Amino acid sequence: MNTTKFRTKLTHKTIAIAITAIMILGTIALASTLGQVNAAHDNQDHKTSAIAFHDAMRKLWEDHITWTRLVIVSVLNGLPDTSSTVDRLLQNQADIGNAIKPFYGDTAGNQLTSLLHDHIAIAAEILTDAKAGNTVALNDAIARWYANANDIATFLHNANPKHWSLDMIQSMMKTHLDLTLAEAVAYLKGDYNGSVKSYEQVHLEILGMSDTLSSGIIAQFPRSFTHDFVTAEEN
């Protein structure tokens, strides 16, 4: 046999095999890539129940006022559970920040957590200064607390200006602080019935604010939700 011809045939056969192998591997890689793209698309198409989101937002803000109430009691009574209770309240601020990340991104979520963390830290100062009778430090902390509330309102307004007007959110935040301060002052003075009544007002107000936040997000990102609310007319 002619050695040159044999080598030529062998070379052609080797090339053919190599091309076939490349095509097979390419097909597998393409299928894998398409699978990843489809999986990502499915994730984007995932929708949250509007009712479930509404209820989850309420739970977060009810946790906020509940653990705030427990911190007031623990700090003003010097209870041994104060540190654990404050830590749980601070975790709630991270939970609220995490709740908006799917809509506004990680940076915005972390920024809200930071603002709310300051909200709690300054509130702790207010309780400590009030208990110690340090009027100068108390007034300074209260001023910073209300300034922080305006920062939170501005942040939320900038995230969703169409549905969260600055005046409305500022008013809600101010009311939240006014009622919480009344709750704490009444407790410090030993007016426990008055403190409980203030807490009931805090609760009602926070539910309204929570509903404003959840409805605003649902309205801003309607494609992210299944609109399963039942209106009075439909019921």
Residues 56 and 165 both lie in one domain: yes
Residues 73 and 37 both lie in one domain: no
Percent of the chain with pLDDT over 70: 78
Residues 61 and 8 both lie in one domain: no
Rounded distance between C-alpha atoms, residue 158 and residue 93, angstroms? 19
What average pLDDT score do residues 45-53 get?
Answer: 89
Residues 63 and 169 both lie in one domain: yes
In a domain, residue 232? The reply is no
In a domain, residue 190? The reply is yes
Residues 30 and 88 both lie in one domain: no
In a domain, residue 231? The reply is no
Residues 114 and 168 both lie in one domain: yes
Residues 140 and 174 both lie in one domain: yes
Q: What is the pLDDT of residues 171-203, one digit of tens each?
A: 999 999 999 999 999 999 999 999 999 999 999
Residues 26 and 99 both lie in one domain: no
Helix (H) or strand (E) holding 46: none
Given pLDDT bands bounded at 50, 70 and 90, which one contains residue 216? very high
Task: Check whether 169 has a pLDDT greater than 50.
Answer: yes
Given pLDDT bands bounded at 50, 70 and 90, which one contains residue 132? very high
Instruction: Say which residue, 64 or 7, is predicted with more confidence.
Output: 64
Residues 14 and 56 both lie in one domain: no
Residues 41 and 54 both lie in one domain: no
Residue 228, pLDDT score: 74
In a domain, residue 233? The reply is no
For residue 81, CA distances in Å to 8, 75, 156 come to 85, 9, 33
Query: Which residue segment(s) compose the domain that 12 sits in?
Result: 1-46
Q: What is the pLDDT of residues 78-96, one digit of tens each?
A: 999 999 999 999 999 999 9
In a domain, residue 94? The reply is yes
Residues 2 and 82 both lie in one domain: no
Tell me which of 31, 46, 61 is where a domain ends.
46
Instruction: Say which residue, 42 or 198, is predicted with more confidence.
Output: 198
Predicted structure pTM score: 0.78
**Sign of the Cα pseudo-torsion (176, 101, 167, 121, in order):** positive
Residues 26 and 130 both lie in one domain: no
CB of 134 closer than 8 Å to CB of 92:
no
In a domain, residue 234? The reply is no
Task: Check whether 21 has a pLDDT greater than 90.
Answer: no
Q: Please state the domain count of the chain.
A: 2
Average pLDDT for the chain: 85
Task: Check whether 157 has a pLDDT greater than 70.
Answer: yes
In a domain, residue 162? The reply is yes
Treating both helix axes as pointing N-terminal to C-terminal, what angle do 106-132 and 166-188 enclose, rounded to 10 degrees?
Answer: 30
Residue 39, pLDDT score: 35
In a domain, residue 235? The reply is no
- Across 113-144, b (16+ Cβ under 10 Å) vs e yields bebbbbbbbbbbbbbebbeeeeeeebeebbee
